[in-house]
Amino acid sequence: MATKHVAHWLGSPVNQLPQQVQDACHSCFTIIEHGQDVSILSEANIHYSLFFLHGAEYQELLLTALRICVNLNKYLVIIHDGNFDKMIHRNDVIFATMDITQDDPLIITDAICEKLSLKFSSSYKTSNLRSQSLANSSQNMSKEMQEILRHIELNLTQDIREEDVASYCHYSISYFSKLFKKMVGVSFRDYICSKRITLAKRLLLEEPNAKIAFVAYQCGYHDVSYFSRIFKKKTGISPGLFRQVNVP
């Protein structure tokens, strides 16, 4: 039996699979269902996802997920009931497929798990080491840095410049940049961007009628075109499409 992996599940629910296929999947994977939330593919610690295409219901969602994977160098394992477009099959980001109407689920899931182990085992080790390192850094984080992070959290709608924060702390910009990355794990600029995109995702879902420009402004972006470019770069899809696939 291959190593049991965490599987982020998209598309149709697991319980719509035949029982034998469900059992095979659960024997190889610890499954976390995300439904239509393809934005999970933008998470740095997620390298692949399982997508269950049951009928034609999620064809468009699958295409969106594939676009995200292409943009962000992620992979999909596609489980389907014979309705899978053979042209899509040629996509390089499709890691593996399983036809539940023809394939032996135990054999295929074992093979997929083995393949995942070979492909991602080193990535997982690196990710785990980095996570542990960040956890240790967090424990040792100074009160000053914690205050800086709180300041950022409370002022995401404002113009937050690294040089201003460095000056406030009486540090040179060079020293502050190195200190911030050492303590937080990412650069100041990337941290701000990540926080703003996270806020944007929340606002897009919580305020479905709000204009994209309004959301951009609320997240500290005064140029909606620039905001849209950054959002797509970080998530793989535009703000409008993100809202479309995640708001019922």
Q: What is the mean pLDDT of each run of 10 residues along the chain (248 residues)?
A: 75 91 90 84 85 86 86 89 68 88 89 83 49 48 79 87 89 90 83 89 90 94 94 88 81
Long-range contacts of 114-117 (CB under 8 A, 24+ apart): 114/2, 116/2, 116/3, 116/5, 116/48, 116/77, 117/2, 117/3, 117/5
Partner residues linked to 49 by β-bridges:
76
Q: Which pLDDT value is given to residue 88?
A: 61
Q: Which pLDDT value is given to residue 90?
A: 60
Question: What domains can you pick out in the chain, each with its CATH number?
Answer: 5-121 (3.40.50.2300), 143-245 (1.10.10.60)
Determine the Cα–Cα distance for residues 233 and 214; give it in Å rounded to an integer. Answer: 20
